[in-house]
Structure 1
Amino acid sequence: RDCTRFHQHVVETLRRLGKRAIGWDECLHEGLPQDTAIQAWRGIEARDAALRAGHDCVVSAPYYLDLFYPADVHFAFDPATATKTDEQGIADHPRLAHVREGLTWMSGFGEFPRLPERAGGRVLGGEACLWSELVTDELLDVRLWSRMPAVAERFWNGRECPTGGLYERIATTRDSLAGLGILPTDAATLSRSYPDLMPLIEMLEPVKWYLRLLGVGEYQRRVSGLGGSSEQRPYTTTTPLDRIVDRIPPESLATRRAATDYAEGMPMDRWTAPWRDQRAALEQHPDLLGELRDVSDALLRVADFVDGDTTVEIRTLGGPFGEYVLPIADAVANHDPGLPTTRPQDVLQDWDVTGDAIRAINAGHINDTYLVDDRYVLQRLNRSVFRDPPALMRNLAKAIAHEGGDRLLAPIPTARGLPYGVDSNGEIWRLFPHLPSRNFQTLPDELLACAGQAFGGFLAAFADFAGELEEVIEGFHDLAFYLTRLDAAPAGNVGATLDEINEHRAQFRPGEAQRVIHGDCKVNNLLFHPTRDAVTAIIDLDTLMLGDPAWDFGDLVRSAFAGSEETEPSGEFSRSRFEPLSKGFFSAFGPVDDVDRYAAAPAYMSFMLSVRFLTDHLEGDVYFKVDRRGDNLARARSQLDLAKRFMLAGPEMAGIIDDIQPS
């Protein structure tokens, strides 16, 4: 109410001065004078809310040039007629896949009041914004003119704007501006500084959205629902903006040219030969090695793939690599005829579901998962991991029948009554109901106790399970099996990680398969109520098996201290997190006799996962999904460090478990 009074005062003051007020869409209120124009920056919904209330509107939401989006993303939006489907197209754009979680999080950022409907609202036009946190005078032109011609064309022509030939028209405009001295020719400055690295530099783009400003850690906090933190951001007002990532255009036009050649079956030697040369050239620039080595290696692997090496995991090479992405990898992957061609939209026909809005969910290391119309979760099982998917589904059916569906989600039968669908490539798909919920990679402190209680209760509920479960993954949770695989893996440059694993491999005793366990008790396999501190569902029962319940406890503790996606450095052990987690677990699971076995389980599970990650890295990333080459090595390092911390904390953990056990 106070804000509305202030807005009314400002509007009336400007009106007396012969001016008209315009305000951000947060000022929408039934008491706001109707002649106030609204700047819609929080999406198409803001525009529509303003128009319904009779306000004129300027649309800026799809035109933020500081987010490093490609020109065609901005061009796709007509300020007056764009729809929510057009808005969803941003999240589905292949160049933005690495920030899709952020875009989805941002889509729920705007809430608009219900206002009385009034006539008279018009879209006055659009505004392209360029916030300047990462802009200097020297960088302004390349940031502005790389996409502004496309935005201007859309503003002037509206929905009648021709979509074909967009990039040809942009190139013509850029040449004209260069001829006038307004804009330097493409990458001219970088070409003079690093001529031998141009085959690499011209293929690079900065990461999109707010990822540069936030940094990876803060980004993960935001999209996980944890809110902001007080940690230092990557950039301050005094950070020099003189790196290659600052000077490259937001969009790589060379990538578009190379992708077109590849799609049309043109000879690719003129591309792949320089892509190979750049890797050796980078070694002559030691000051750039730390920043560019990973993305340089990735471009070399793209060259291998384009030249016929089918063992290359092309979908892992797009990045991000620090603050860079390599879009040519995604372009090549999307044109690979050897990859499965079944679209989620096609397989949904098995359930008589249309699927108007489908987006990938970047969660988990194994299966491909999609959110459908905010109503369903569609999942393709990874056949290279689960060799007998029907057995997995039979295990799941037995578990749900035993538990009663209290916290376990049953798959939705197909229209023919089957528990899963099979596409033309033989891939297995399943559909679950989507629950509005919260899900975390890093669990906040206030949810530790209820997380422990949920998994402890799960194990207690299956104490009397009498059915037989089929093995779905050979040797799962068998440390001896994994160490044998590691010993047989190809050699590779993994630093000291392998030596440290060999140093500790004899220190762990295996558990005994006593009863049914979940097998993958990570905190991100819990769905929490949207507003209450309560678990509504336990998901991902693909590893249901006979095992030692201490393994589930150890995996739960491990995941509560592991870094985001397990590629980030793991957290230090702290009693303040371990105690509520353990108290919740044992309050539901019940007391245990062998306290030391449970205290040793977090180190055991962390060490075993380190062995698995390292083996998969050496074998070529065939089991766990990765965003880029080296992720599994980073995960192995992180989990090994975590295992060492848990070994040191073992006596303290045993004491805590002994103290908090129910009598």
Structure 2
Amino acid sequence: MLEKVLVNYGIDKFQCDISTIGNGLINNTWLLISKNQTYILQRVNNDVFIHPEDIDNNILLVTNYFKKNYPDYFFVSPIKALNGKTMIFVEKEGYFRMFPYVKNSKTILATQSPKQSYEAAKAFGKFTKLLSNISLKEFKIVIPDFHNLSLRFQQFKMAIKNASSTRIDQAQTSIDYLLRQEIIVNEYEHIVQNNLLKYRITHYDTKISNVLFTQNDENLCVIDLDTIMPGYFISDVGDMIRTYVCPVTEEEPNIEKIIFREDYFEEILHGYLEQMKNDLTDTEIGYIVYSGKFMIYMQAIRFLTDYLNNDIYYGAKYEQNNLVRTNNQIALLKKLIEKESQLNQIVINVCKKLNS
């Protein structure tokens, strides 16, 4: 299969070493070593991204903007194929693109220190800040309604209506809890209806594995730009909170292991606000803690929706995998809500420190 792809880049499959890398649920990724050059090859999942060419459009807009306005900003751009395009289509195989491999870099699958939280948040903050003046009009919406919480909540309620009695019984406690938290949806709708947050370029997938690090845990650059499109900062900051503050992933079935690490939360704020403090409004800063609730809650209802729909989106490694994921996120949401006033005070303290 890859032979048909690599010929588009002038690479002979039989003269390179190829290995599968990454643990992403969406795209397939390979590491290629050819004639002392190393590359990353990726196949874009066009079941999730209906129009892969829109991803290419958005990445090229960002690439060209950085080259023109911030030529010293380190950014990994896609490599052009022999036809001059940065994304190719191979019949019966799909859409592919290639990137240069950054030597002496590493990715981190789970946040292991407050410093890593700081560095990743700083990277995403700088990325967003540098793009603060880019025109949004030519950007495509690669996944419509991706973080539309109102729609996700409606899909959740529809799944409850259509689910089997067996799955409803197994998930009833989780269903009841998430329905009682509808106030999070109401707040999102209040934000949207009153234009409380600025519409800006958003990464939409700020897990720590989407930052390249040096061997000394300093950030090099942001990667995986498939989901960049206009949106709200709560998507990026909220997903950093969701994925950095807990020492275990959403796959962890043992609820006792789920904790909310305040020092990691504080370092997210330090890193992000060092870059974005002059770009966020006071209203937006007031929604930082809410951003965590927003993303954790949305991920919980998406997992539970999929469970009730018989695991058709995320898939499942075992029968109740998506219910386990749901309860994991519910536990994290509860931890955040318990500490909410404390976390708001941390926001105030960090802002004071950065402004002093």
TM-score > 0.5 by shorter chain: yes
1:593 to 279, 282, 286: 282
Give distance in 2, aligned partners of 1:455 and 1:625.
Answer: 29
Amino acid at match of 2:163: A
| 2:40 matches 1:377 | yes
Amino acid at match of 1:503: R
Match of 1:401 in 2: 64
Match of 2:194 in 1: none
| 2:19 matches 1:359 | yes
Instruction: Give the secondary structure class of the aligned counterpart of 2:147.
Output: coil
Does the 8 A contact of 1:451 with 1:535 survive in 2? yes
Paired residue total = 320
Does the 8 A contact of 2:184 with 2:294 survive in 1? no
2:118 to 427, 441, 449: 449
Q: For the structure 1 residues 653 and 369, does the alpha-carbon distance in structure 2 shift closer, same or farther, using more than 3 Å as the test?
A: same
Written as runs of structure 1 = structure 2, the 5 A alignment for 1:304-319 is none
Structure 1: which 4+ aligned runs deviate by more than 4 Å? Answer: 562-565, 625-629
Does the 8 A contact of 2:258 with 2:331 survive in 1? no
Q: Which structure has the larger Rg over C-alpha atoms?
A: 1
1:471 to 123, 134, 141: 141
1:553 to 226, 237, 258: 237
Q: For the structure 1 residues 562 and 367, does the alpha-carbon distance in structure 2 shift closer, same or farther, using more than 3 Å as the test?
A: farther
Overall identity of the aligned pairs, in %: 25
Match of 1:389 in 2: 52
Q: TM-score, normalised by structure 1?
A: 0.46
Amino acid at match of 1:543: T
1:521 to 185, 193, 206: 206
Give distance in 2, aligned partners of 1:538 and 1:558.
Answer: 18
Does the 8 A contact of 1:482 with 1:611 survive in 2? yes
Match of 1:431 in 2: 98
| 2:225 matches 1:541 | yes
Does the 8 A contact of 2:246 with 2:259 survive in 1? no
- Return the structure number with greater relative CO, CA threshold 8 A, min gap 6: 2
Match of 1:505 in 2: 182
Following superposition, the deviation at residue 547 of structure 1 comes to 1.5
Amino acid at match of 1:360: T
Match of 1:336 in 2: none
Q: For the structure 1 residues 564 and 426, does the alpha-carbon distance in structure 2 shift closer, same or farther, using more than 3 Å as the test?
A: same
Give distance in 1, aligned partners of 2:121 and 2:3.
Answer: 37
| 2:130 matches 1:461 | yes
Amino acid at match of 1:472: V
2:342 to 637, 646, 652: 652
Q: TM-score, normalised by structure 2?
A: 0.83
Amino acid at match of 1:497: S
Q: For the structure 1 residues 620 and 589, does the alpha-carbon distance in structure 2 shift closer, same or farther, using more than 3 Å as the test?
A: same
Higher strand share: 2
Match of 1:642 in 2: 332
Written as runs of structure 1 = structure 2, the 5 A alignment for 1:331-370 is 343-355=1-13, 356-370=16-30
Written as runs of structure 1 = structure 2, the 5 A alignment for 1:80-479 is 343-355=1-13, 356-373=16-33, 375-404=38-67, 406-425=73-92, 427-436=94-103, 437-445=105-113, 446-468=115-137, 469-479=139-149
Gaps of 5+ in 2: 192-196
Amino acid at match of 1:541: L
Give distance in 1, aligned partners of 2:38 and 2:315.
Answer: 25
Following superposition, the deviation at residue 560 of structure 1 comes to 0.2
Instruction: Give the secondary structure class of the aligned counterpart of 1:602.
Output: helix
Q: For the structure 1 residues 447 and 409, does the alpha-carbon distance in structure 2 shift closer, same or farther, using more than 3 Å as the test?
A: same
Following superposition, the deviation at residue 419 of structure 1 comes to 1.3
Residue deviations 1:104-145 (CA, integer Å, cap 9, x gap):
xxxxxxxxxxxxxxxxxxxxxxxxxxxxxxxxxxxxxxxxxx
Gaps of 5+ in 1: 1-342
Q: For the structure 1 residues 377 and 655, does the alpha-carbon distance in structure 2 shift closer, same or farther, using more than 3 Å as the test?
A: same
